[in-house]
Amino acid sequence: MNLRRDVFQAIADPTRRAILLLVASQSMTAGAIAANFDTARPTVSKHLQILTECELLNQEQNGREIYYQLNAKKMKEVAEFIEPFRKIWDDRFNKLETIMKNYKPKK
C-alpha cells in the first residue's frame, strides 16, 4: 500500500521548503533545481516526488524535459489550514463576550 503523503509533513522539511521557494518564481527542471543544492541528485529527486505526490508541485512535459511548477491553489490551502480552528475560537469568544455583557453578579 502506498502511504498517503501528508502535505504538512512535506513542508516541514527545510530542503522541500527551499524547493518550493525556488520554483515559485519560475518553472524548473529537476536538474536545474538540483543544481541549487549540495545534496545528492537522488535526494532532490525524492523531495520532488514527495512534493508532487502531495500536489504542491505540478509536472509539465516540455519536449524531452519535465518542468516542475508550484501549485498555487494547494499552497493557498496550506496557508489557510488554521482558519477553521481560528473560527471555532472566535465563535466561542464572541459567545463569551455576549454572555458577560449581560452578566449580572448575584449578590
Partner 1 sequence: MGLKTKMHAEEGKQDLIITREFDLPVELVFKAHVDPELIVQWKTLPNTTAKILKFGGKKHGSYQMQSTDAQGKIVSSVSGVIHEFIPNQKMIRTFEVENAPIGVQLEIYDFERLTDNTSKLSMHVIYESGAIRDQLLKMPGASGYTMGMAHDRMQELMNKFK
What residues make contact with partner 1 under the rule CB under 8 A?
8, 11-12, 81-82, 84-90, 92-97, 99-101, 103
Nearer to partner 1, 60 or 77 (CB): 77
The Cα 35–Cα 19 span in angstroms is: 11
Any idea what DSSP says for residue 71?
A: -
Nearer to partner 1, 45 or 94 (CB): 94
Rounded least distance, CB 7 to partner 1, Å = 9
Q: Which of 44, 41, 54 is nearest to 11 (CA)?
A: 54
- Find the helix or strand (DSSP H, E) in which 17 lies: helix 14-25
Rounded least distance, CB 9 to partner 1, Å = 8
Nearer to partner 1, 41 or 81 (CB): 81
Rounded least distance, CB 3 to partner 1, Å = 15
What would the grid cell of residue 76 be?
493557498
